[in-house]
Amino acid sequence: MATDPYKVPGIEDTSIDHIVKAEAYDGKVRAMAVSTTAMCAEAQKIHNTSTAVTCALGRFMTGSLLISSDMKNETDTQTTIIKSDGPIGGMTCVCDFGYKVRAFPVNSVIDTEYHHPGKVNVGAAVGQGMLTVIRDIGLKEPYVGSVELISGEIAEDFAYYLAKSEQTKSVVALGVLCENGEVKHAGGLMVQLLPSADDKTIDILEQRAAGFPDITFLMSEGFTPAKIIDLFLGDPEVRYLSGSPVSFSCPCSKEKMSRGLITLGKEELTQLTDDPDGISTECQFCGSKYHFTKEDIEDLIKSI
């Protein structure tokens, strides 16, 4: 039996959301591609987002995931934030080790504008603003980088961030295709030139980037992340280094919520005990609800 040229170590089932890492051109270029259809559908369901927000949030989660893929320790985490003046207002995304992603938009329901039929104008939804990336990899201080948004279309905003804040020349492509309000396909590609890349390699990749089809079109044609990388790079020597499933996942719990409540301080917590029914809190990332009785809150006050 012939071996599968698109076989990626760590990936058995290519139908589930997954990320693939590869290198090519004698190690001068690295590439990552990811399928995030189920992840984006989950975010759509949790936040009950309208089409423009589903597309913007999906692209934002997918791009955040791609730039977070160098995490090495289980406690590493990355928070990306867009604050902007468009109707969406902004978005926050957290990527934890193991490709676990969670996110929420400031506004879930807005009108959808289109570039042309079928192509959502994400830039109009996002508007102008800032993209901030906070990486906590266990050092004394987290690394924080911030850039102005170029277009609000998300992919070029991440590429600009990588060029400006991390001095890495990158091509970033992101796509979320919605049909009747539901996520049909979602995914992304990031190709980075390492400092050793020569002008010839740079030229080849710039040419390939110029006419490259939409990621969601390729996915609808059956392209897996490994095949998307192959099509973009066009290098017969491409090496698939590793793959891993990715998912929408929130680690919230009642205990973590109570730590948040404690930060309100004694005075404010004491006011909360006025209500004999206690209080209900909701996780803004995943919508899980946690109830604290009057007694729970009194215990928290005692613990301060």
| Alpha-carbon span 17 to 247, nearest angstrom | 7
Element (H, E) at 116: strand 114-116
Distances (CA, A) of 84 to 4, 48, 113, 130, 150: 45, 20, 17, 6, 12
Which of these, 129, 160, 145, 4, lies nearest to 79 by C-alpha position? 145
Which of these, 52, 51, 29, lies nearest to 152 by C-alpha position? 52
Whether residue 212 contacts residue 173, with contact meaning beta carbons closer than 8 Å, is answered with yes
Q: How far is the CB of 253 from Zn ion (least distance, A)?
A: 8
**Which span sits near Zn ion by CB under 5 A: 62-70, 135-143, 152-160, 282-290?**
282-290
Q: How far is the CB of 251 from Zn ion (least distance, A)?
A: 7
| Alpha-carbon span 262 to 242, nearest angstrom | 42
3-state secondary structure of 55: helix
**Which span sits near Zn ion by CB under 5 A: 107-115, 206-214, 234-242, 286-294?**
286-294
286 binds Zn ion (CB under 5 A): yes
**Which span sits near Zn ion by CB under 5 A: 110-118, 201-209, 259-267, 284-292?**
284-292
Looking at the DSSP assignment, which residues form a beta bridge with residue 78? 95, 135
Looking at the DSSP assignment, which residues form a beta bridge with residue 81? 92, 132
**Which span sits near Zn ion by CB under 5 A: 139-147, 183-191, 220-228, 277-285?**
277-285
Among residues 104, 248, 285, 292, the one that binds Zn ion under rule CB under 5 A: 285
250 binds Zn ion (CB under 5 A): yes
Nearest CB to Zn ion, comparing residues 7 and 254: 254
**Which span sits near Zn ion by CB under 5 A: 1-9, 109-117, 209-217, 287-295?**
287-295
32 binds Zn ion (CB under 5 A): no
120 binds Zn ion (CB under 5 A): no
Q: How far is the CB of 46 from Zn ion (least distance, A)?
A: 9
248 binds Zn ion (CB under 5 A): no
94 binds Zn ion (CB under 5 A): no
| Alpha-carbon span 193 to 122, nearest angstrom | 27
Whether residue 38 contacts residue 107, with contact meaning beta carbons closer than 8 Å, is answered with no
Q: Please give the single-letter amino acid code of residue 159.
A: A
Q: How many residues does the chain have?
A: 304
283 binds Zn ion (CB under 5 A): yes
Q: How far is the CB of 250 from Zn ion (least distance, A)?
A: 3
Which of these, 301, 288, 294, lies nearest to 102 by C-alpha position? 288
252 binds Zn ion (CB under 5 A): yes
31 binds Zn ion (CB under 5 A): no
46 binds Zn ion (CB under 5 A): no
Q: Using CB under 5 A as the criterion, which residues of the chain lie in contact with Zn ion when the complex forms?
A: 250, 252, 283, 285-286, 288
